[in-house]
Structure 1
Amino acid sequence: MALSNSWKRPALVAVVFIILFLLLRHSSVTPSTPEVAVIAEEGQPSRSYPPPKPPQPVQEVQQAIQTVPAKSVYEKLRYHFPYDIDSKFPAYIWQTWKYGPDSGHFEERLRPFEASWSQHHPGFVHEVITDDAALHLVNYLYASVPEVVEAYEAMPLPVIKADFFRYLILLARGGIYSDIDTQALKPANDWLPQNLDTSTAGLVVGIEADPDRDDWNEWYARRIQFCQWTIQSKPGHPVLRDIVATITLDTLSMQKAGKLRKGKEPTTKSIMEYTGPGVWTDALFSYFNNKEYFDFSTRLTNVSYSDFFGIRAHKKIGDVVVLPITSFSPGVGQMGAEGPDDPMAFVKHEFDGSWKPESERMKDKE
């Protein structure tokens, strides 16, 4: 019995040595797929899954890093805020004011206007963004395009920032922007014709001014002027991308030249031309005549002011729906605008100059 046990022990040890030898020999063989082979480091697995890509040459990596800041603001905006025309118009309503509706400082005169948007859009997210919140929101939404944040922070007046913010929020999130002194007369679902396929529309704008008089330029920035107190869009729309890039570059240029002073208008541009309806109208006409988006093979002329003279119904140019002056300016009593009870009246602008100092408001109505 003792002899039998003494024979088994050496045999068992020999078997263990053979197994260890085979395992060690197998692990020393180089795999046939070099991408899978990884040198094991302390605390790291000896295999990676999925297999890593072959390392880029250091020079190529450095070149790629260096080209990121070289991308234009427009290219960055195109990348970070893509446009999908097939998407739905987001159910957002954005407004801005110094105080939120839950604040005791929110003016009573504004409450019926603000409430009208929620009443006509019960399924929408309705946000009144304060000035302080707008700054944080711009920093969050545009962290990947720091030029935009720098431009926003450099703007010298709240009204300029408010103009810029409407384009920024619509580019990033889409939905409806409307000034705090506007009143919703009809829900947004009624703004477009019932037979219009909304997958072919990405931006809805209204005409603010269509003055048939020789001195129109003393009153308005453009012969046909699109209003920017109310805009509906899908996120990423090229018009919004263009105006954000334009305003950003203009702001940074003026800042570098020392032409922006806190509390004062820029010395080289009026607000109308800088962030207001002048530059907004230019952005729309630039889009209408951009060969990147429109087929010019069937066009005889460019889209111009005359294409919108006296329109009384919706007019669609590409993916932009232009509403007549009555839609966002009912009751102004000029330029062919009908009253607030007209079927095409959707939003009423009170024109009380909410952004002005209180002593200057409503002067025209006194």
Structure 2
Amino acid sequence: MLTFKRALIAAAFLLTTIYLLSRSHPSDTTATALQDSGPATHPQGKGTATASQPPANGRKTSLPDKVPIVPSRQGPAGQALLHDLSRAPLRDKLAYQFPYDIDTKFPAYIWQTWKYTPASGSFAQNFRPAEASWSELHPGFIHEVITDQVAVHLLRHLYASIPEVLEAYHALPLPVLKADFFRYLILLARGGIYSDIDTYAIRSAIEWLPGGVPREAVGLVIGIEADPDRADWAQWYSRRIQFCQWTIQAKAGHPVLREVVANITLQTLEKKKAGQLRSVKDKNVIEFTGPAVWTDTIFDYMNDERYFDMTTGNGNITWRDFTGMTAPKKVGDVVVLPITSFSPGVGQMGAGEYDDPMAFVKHDFEGTWKPDSERHMGQ
């Protein structure tokens, strides 16, 4: 029997439900107004967001890139409603999805990739001491060895809103191309350290930066792979100064990572459309996704007027600024380590030995993606 008290409770419940639903869903009028909203304005009256940095090597930097503010309106309960980014340029999507904040700490992640995880019996025994060295020297870090299968699901989660990146990743015809691409993708999205599975940690990453360099002034730490001061250098290396990408430390969203991801994505999709991806062979890897494109992107960044005041200093930064260096150099928010740091013991190009104070990472140069006959080239 429906008493007056029960009817009153039922009515109150119904009214409460209607009220909550009306606050949870914007009206059609609000949605229509969103599509017509004009350019948003920065709180300080500017249409772009930048974070200034102190001059470095005579050049003033502006970080991150001048990323357009996404137009928005205030929805119910003060919630901001953002434009659909599906038609925005790729670089704008990446900048919005993975913003760069130089003031944050370096994320305590260590990322590696291999066919199997260390928990698997199929994990190669010769890799176990190398893999363990990273955990031993970084006890407070999250250390992950990502398999191909896990990489697919992880990228699907991180880049769900940027489907062209996922399309490019799946279209790459060689495992090594995907491995190269993955390191840039995971660092762009999450930051931390990426290092190849055949590397040993000699010193903790906490010791990589010089003592006088504040962590909040650095967003990318790289090392020199090759500095071949000889006439025939082009027979052995792709660039006169070549930055290694077997070990990289970065804060999420760094513009260099954004640019290399955009370049590889757009180039891959262009080749896919033209039916040219099958022409990418092992010999093209260095230029397509490897240290050549990585090096070029870094130099482009160091000479980009969007980040650096190019009216000061002594002209463009080139390989000459890094050849023969034995101590770290800071350019804007990038710290470049000497060849000894990530390539000790190679016995050439001025690299020190494993016990050198500047030796941070040992690379075994297994070249696991190459045929046996092509491993250890240039040594």
Structure index of larger Rg:
1
* 1:260 Cα deviation after fit: 1.7
C-alpha RMSD over aligned residues: 2.9
- Using a 3 Å threshold, how does the CA distance of structure 1 residues 108 and 287 change in structure 2: closer, same or farther? same
The yes-or-no answer on 1:259 pairing with 2:276 is: yes
The structure 2 residue matched to 1:226, chosen from 226, 243, 249, is 243
- Using a 3 Å threshold, how does the CA distance of structure 1 residues 72 and 314 change in structure 2: closer, same or farther? same
- More helix by percentage: 1
How many percent of aligned residue pairs carry the same amino acid? 60
The structure 2 residue matched to 1:86, chosen from 103, 106, 119, is 103
Q: Which residue number in structure 1 is paired with residue 158 of structure 2?
A: 141
Distance in 1 between residues matched to 2:86 and 2:220, nearest whole Å: 30
The alignment's TM-score, normalised by the length of structure 1, stands at 0.82
Q: Deviations over 1:106-133 (max 9, x none)?
A: 0001101101101111111000000110
The structure 2 residue matched to 1:291, chosen from 301, 305, 311, is 305
Distance in 1 between residues matched to 2:31 and 2:368, nearest whole Å: 58
* 1:69 Cα deviation after fit: 3.0
The structure 1 residue matched to 2:349, chosen from 320, 331, 335, is 335
The yes-or-no answer on 1:113 pairing with 2:87 is: no
Q: Deviations over 1:290-338 (max 9, x none)?
A: 1111122322301111100100000000000000000000011110001
Q: Which runs of 5+ in 2 are unaligned?
A: 1-14, 38-70, 72-81
Distance in 1 between residues matched to 2:110 and 2:268, nearest whole Å: 27
Distance in 2 between residues matched to 1:140 and 1:267, nearest whole Å: 29
The structure 2 residue matched to 1:151, chosen from 165, 168, 173, is 168
The yes-or-no answer on 1:168 pairing with 2:185 is: yes
Distance in 2 between residues matched to 1:259 and 1:62, nearest whole Å: 41
Query: Counterparts of 1:37-116 in structure 2 under 5 Å?
Result: 44-45=18-19, 55=29, 58=32, 61=35, 68-116=85-133
* 1:155 Cα deviation after fit: 0.7
Q: Deviations over 1:13-43 (max 9, x none)?
A: xxxxxxxxxxxxxxxxxxxxxxxxxxxx9x7
Q: Which residue number in structure 1 is paired with residue 318 of structure 2?
A: 304
The yes-or-no answer on 1:187 pairing with 2:187 is: no
Distance in 2 between residues matched to 1:338 and 1:66, nearest whole Å: 53
- Using a 3 Å threshold, how does the CA distance of structure 1 residues 107 and 50 change in structure 2: closer, same or farther? closer
* 1:181 Cα deviation after fit: 0.4
The structure 2 residue matched to 1:314, chosen from 328, 333, 358, is 328
The yes-or-no answer on 1:280 pairing with 2:254 is: no
Distance in 1 between residues matched to 2:143 and 2:31, nearest whole Å: 51
* 1:196 Cα deviation after fit: 1.4
- More strand by percentage: 2
Distance in 2 between residues matched to 1:177 and 1:251, nearest whole Å: 23
Distance in 2 between residues matched to 1:269 and 1:142, nearest whole Å: 29
Distance in 2 between residues matched to 1:157 and 1:104, nearest whole Å: 25
The alignment's TM-score, normalised by the length of structure 2, stands at 0.79
Aligned length: 323
Distance in 1 between residues matched to 2:95 and 2:298, nearest whole Å: 17
Distance in 2 between residues matched to 1:57 and 1:194, nearest whole Å: 52
- Using a 3 Å threshold, how does the CA distance of structure 1 residues 56 and 332 change in structure 2: closer, same or farther? same
Aligned partners of 1:177 and 1:231 also within 8 Å: yes
Aligned partners of 1:315 and 1:322 also within 8 Å: yes
Aligned partners of 1:259 and 1:268 also within 8 Å: no
Distance in 2 between residues matched to 1:238 and 1:89, nearest whole Å: 15
